């Protein structure tokens, strides 16, 4: 799978750890930066990763900031992106199975490396269930397109 990964300074260390973990798998990992833990603004990196996923240049995105929350909010502003902040592998599974989430955001200051690896592995390995969830995800797309917002 093609994975695009990015962070801010607060997520840099965990981003590097997750990247190393993924590079040891069969997945194709592209790092959108940053290249150091110098202070940066998380929306810039959320945009890079979210755009790559929305454009189909990556299958899934992983974003790490201090809490994962700013990245989640920013990534969700890009149409076609369903970003979820996850701190537990079971929620990673549910976010893929029920919500067809395509961007995972992690809390660099609160999630340890082994837990992050389990979350990322679960997120990548879990397919969307489709079925009854298909219509609900389509309704999210409708909201994005302004349907029902009049």
Which are the catalytic amino acids? 65, 98
User: How far from 117 is each of 11, 16, 51, 114, CA to CA, in Å?
Assistant: 14, 11, 24, 5
Smaller CB separation from ligand RB5, 8 or 124: 8
Distance between CA 62 and CA 109 in Å, rounded? Answer: 15
46 forms part of the interface with ligand RB5 (CB under 6 A): no
Minimal distance, residue 54 CB to ligand RB5, in Å: 21
First-to-final CA distance of the chain: 39
Residue whose Cβ sits closest to ligand RB5: 70
Smaller CB separation from ligand RB5, 14 or 124: 14
The DSSP symbol for 130 reads: -
Q: Quote the distance between the C-alpha of residue 126 and its chain's center.
A: 14
For ligand RB5, which residue of 6, 61, 70, 89 counts as binding (CB under 6 A)?
70
Residues that bind ligand RB5 (CB under 6 A): 8, 10, 42, 65-67, 69-70
């Amino acid at each position: 799978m093609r994975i695009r990964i990015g962070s801010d300074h607060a997520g840099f260390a965990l981003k590097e750890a997750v990247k190393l973990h993924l590079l040891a798998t069969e997945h194709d990992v592209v790092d959108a930066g940053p290249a150091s833990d110098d202070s940066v603004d998380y929306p810039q990196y959320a945009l890079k990763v979210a755009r790559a996923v929305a454009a189909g240049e990556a299958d899934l995105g992983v974003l790490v900031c201090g809490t994962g929350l700013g990245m989640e909010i920013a990534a969700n502003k890009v149409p076609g992106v369903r970003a979820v902040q996850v701190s537990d592998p079971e929620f990673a599974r549910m976010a893929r199975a029920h919500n067809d989430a395509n961007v995972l955001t992690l809390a660099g200051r609160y999630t340890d490396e082994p837990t992050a690896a389990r979350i990322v592995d679960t997120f990548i390995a879990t397919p969307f269930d489709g079925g009854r969830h298909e219509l609900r995800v389509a309704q999210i797309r409708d909201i994005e397109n302004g349907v029902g917002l009049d």
